[in-house]
Structure 1
Amino acid sequence: MCRTSMDLVELFFISLGAAIVVYYGVRLLLFSRMLFPKLWFPLSKSFFTSMGEWAVVTGSSEGIGRAYAFMLAKKGMNVVIISRTKEKLDVVAKDIGHTTGQMVKVIVTDFIKENVFSDIEDQLKGLNIGVLVNNVGILPSTIPCQFLEHEELNQTITKVINCNVRTMVKMCKIILPGMEHRGKGLILNISSGVASVPFPMYTLYSASKVFVERFSQSLQAEYKDKGIIIQAVAPFGVSTRMSGYQKISMVTLSPEQFVERSLQYIRAGDKTNGCICHIILSWVLQTIPLKDFMLQGLQEYVKNNFKNHKNKSGGAMIEVIVSRTALETPLSMMQP
């Protein structure tokens, strides 16, 4: 009897060990696909144009938004670029038209303000929109601070919700019906790597990006069977104005590099970090407890870098509309 019990216990642990090996083996196989996106998630040359004639990109006057507009135009799509600065948009429109020969429509709006979407909807009427990139976002303060430390907190809350949350939902409401009617379309909602874990000192920003991810993933579950791809894209280090144009490296990509690589992962699921190095960084954040480290070092680190940036550039905006959501600074702390 004792021998039988020991045999059962031994069999249980052997089975458990085998199950663990199989589980992690499958996960390793799934992860290995991310190393070869062109092999595992191929796209035809006509993939984007097959979705529709036009692409709409918010926050497209610079950075990641501008890179998306250019890349989609290079793939044969006409583009609608939307941001709040007409002068910058006009330059981007001219560059895209000259470089690609595609049509470019400019819509000037400030997504922080109320009641802007009826005008946008009117200007988009009649366009066969196959791709929507919800890129625009706002970082309430370049200096990390606790929630109650934000200046003009009530206004800050409204601005973050209006720009980072409401804009994405409203733009989907405007464009999704046409995609559903045609049975095809692509929506990319730009989140951020900081949404991977609770992120103190950037509470409003990171929480708004968690909403972007959950909204995108739930919407994809609802509309996947209708031929529509909806994906949250959560980058980390990208060299833009917001990150002080940090030096491009294996981890810190240029906007063009990031966009080109992220488009290879469109069929990789309802969320992607856009490139293999950022996928690994996301795993690190979710696996290694960094909360105490970030609380102790994050604020001082960013303050010093912000001070240096001001000295070099002659000043910096406390609140900026960013054409990316890759909050690079905290990840730079983990780079060698």
Structure 2
Amino acid sequence: MELLFQQFFTVLGILLCLYLMLKFFRFLKYLFPRLWKALPRSFFRSMGEWAVVTGAGDGIGKAYSIELANRGMDIVMISRTLEKMQTVAAEIEQSTGRNVKIIQADFTRDNIYEHIEESLRGLEIGILVNNVGMLHNPDPCRFLSGPDNDKNLINCNITSAVKMTRMALKQMEQRKRGLILNISSAFGSFPCPLYAIYSASKAFVTTFSKALQAEYKSKGIIIQAVTPYGVSTPMTKHQNTDIVTKSPGDFVRQSLNCVTQGDETFGCLAHEILGCIISCIPLWVIHSTAVQEQFLLRFSTEMKENPKRM
């Protein structure tokens, strides 16, 4: 019996060491991306001529549009905010000389895809960034305390990713190359109370991405779920940036260096470390009523102290 226990703990120790080594190597990818697997400057352009970005008028979508143009791509911006897109498009064309095409569409609706597909006809789509998304409620709340906008959220967060992927993937499969980045959320990596429907929608995006990568990686197509924690955007009420909360530009630049590093990425080292820490917290702690009440109380207090964020 003593020998059996000794063997058990030996195997357990080896598995723990392997797990920690795996985590260490994941951190190295962020610390030394060029040494791990340097992307040639021509990588993104080699996928195709155009990059299509949804939710491109602001935040992460705007940052992807600008950064991909800096890396040699012509850009298709899709959003409902026409004036914001026009401003960003002018900035991109002036600073990079790349072509920019604008498509106005409201992704909370489900009758927009024929118009989008017609507008994309004839373009060689090398990269698709499914970025558009929305929260069930701007502030954390229990499901029944939020608005009844379930259809809008499902259309925006789930249907958009499926429909846009279907459009782009058809021609990528024919050319045997392409890159699809599905912007999910770390809140989709576990059932997150107070953000229930948002968390569930992002879990779909992550699972959808991983399943498609398994199906299409042999055809030369990269499909990756990007699952960030804090990024300072209109959705997060422009939180102050710090070691964890990244500006959209910083986050996008780092995440684009990770596109060949697996079917899911947190996008940056700080979020990878935070994800590792949170994964060690038992789910029953996160799901406890006491933790939820404390979170709601803290959020309410913060809003009273910083009314400009409301």
- If the length of structure 2 is used for normalisation, what is the TM-score? 0.92
Q: Give SS of 2:261's match.
A: coil
**Residues 1:209 and 2:209 aligned together:** no
After superposition, the C-alpha distances for 1:10-37 in whole angstroms (9 at most, x for unaligned) are 7625742563355235424433433322
1:39 positional shift: 1.6
1:144 positional shift: 1.6
Alpha-carbon distance between aligned partners in 1 of 2:236 and 2:203, rounded to the nearest angstrom = 21
Q: Give SS of 2:235's match.
A: coil
Aligned residues: 305
- Residues 49, 74 of structure 2: 8 Å contact kept: yes
Mean Cα displacement is larger for which, 233-242 or 176-185?
233-242
Structure 2 equivalent of residue 98 of structure 1:
94
1:288 positional shift: 1.3
Alpha-carbon distance between aligned partners in 2 of 1:85 and 1:69, rounded to the nearest angstrom = 15
Structure 2 equivalent of residue 261 of structure 1:
254
Q: For residues 265-276 of structure 1, what are the structure 2 equivalents within 5 Å? A: 265-276=258-269
Alpha-carbon distance between aligned partners in 2 of 1:216 and 1:12, rounded to the nearest angstrom = 39
**Residues 1:297 and 2:294 aligned together:** yes
Structure 1 equivalent of residue 272 of structure 2:
279
After superposition, the C-alpha distances for 1:103-143 in whole angstroms (9 at most, x for unaligned) are 00000010111210000000000001100000000112112
Q: Give SS of 1:131's match.
A: strand
The alignment's C-alpha RMSD in Å is: 1.9
Q: For residues 37-52 of structure 1, what are the structure 2 equivalents within 5 Å? A: 37-52=33-48
1:241 positional shift: 2.3
1:247 positional shift: 2.0
Alpha-carbon distance between aligned partners in 1 of 2:96 and 2:89, rounded to the nearest angstrom = 11
**Residues 1:113 and 2:112 aligned together:** no
- Runs (4+) of structure 1 exceeding 6 A deviation are none
Structure 1 equivalent of residue 211 of structure 2:
218
Q: Give SS of 1:139's match.
A: coil
Structure 2 equivalent of residue 325 of structure 1:
none
After superposition, the C-alpha distances for 1:191-242 in whole angstroms (9 at most, x for unaligned) are 0111122110110111100000000000000000000000000111112223
Q: Which has the higher contact order (CA 8 A, sep 6+)?
A: 1
Matched AA of 2:50: W
Alpha-carbon distance between aligned partners in 2 of 1:278 and 1:29, rounded to the nearest angstrom = 14
- Residues 41, 265 of structure 1: 8 Å contact kept: no
- Residues 134, 235 of structure 2: 8 Å contact kept: no
Matched AA of 2:125: I
Q: Which of these two proteins has the greater Rg computed from alpha carbons?
A: 1
Matched AA of 1:27: L
Structure 2 equivalent of residue 143 of structure 1:
139
Alpha-carbon distance between aligned partners in 1 of 2:16 and 2:90, rounded to the nearest angstrom = 56
> Where does structure 2 lack aligned partners over 5 or more consecutive residues?
none
Structure 2 equivalent of residue 239 of structure 1:
232
Alpha-carbon distance between aligned partners in 2 of 1:49 and 1:110, rounded to the nearest angstrom = 28
Q: Give SS of 1:258's match.
A: helix
Alpha-carbon distance between aligned partners in 2 of 1:253 and 1:110, rounded to the nearest angstrom = 27
Alpha-carbon distance between aligned partners in 1 of 2:278 and 2:23, rounded to the nearest angstrom = 18
Work out which of the residue numbers 45, 64, 68 in structure 2 matches 1:68: 64
1:298 positional shift: 1.9
- Residues 54, 78 of structure 2: 8 Å contact kept: yes
Alpha-carbon distance between aligned partners in 1 of 2:23 and 2:226, rounded to the nearest angstrom = 22
Alpha-carbon distance between aligned partners in 1 of 2:229 and 2:113, rounded to the nearest angstrom = 29
- If the length of structure 1 is used for normalisation, what is the TM-score? 0.86
Alpha-carbon distance between aligned partners in 1 of 2:121 and 2:191, rounded to the nearest angstrom = 40
> Where does structure 1 lack aligned partners over 5 or more consecutive residues?
317-336
After superposition, the C-alpha distances for 1:174-193 in whole angstroms (9 at most, x for unaligned) are 11001000000000000011
1:286 positional shift: 1.4
Structure 1 equivalent of residue 19 of structure 2:
24
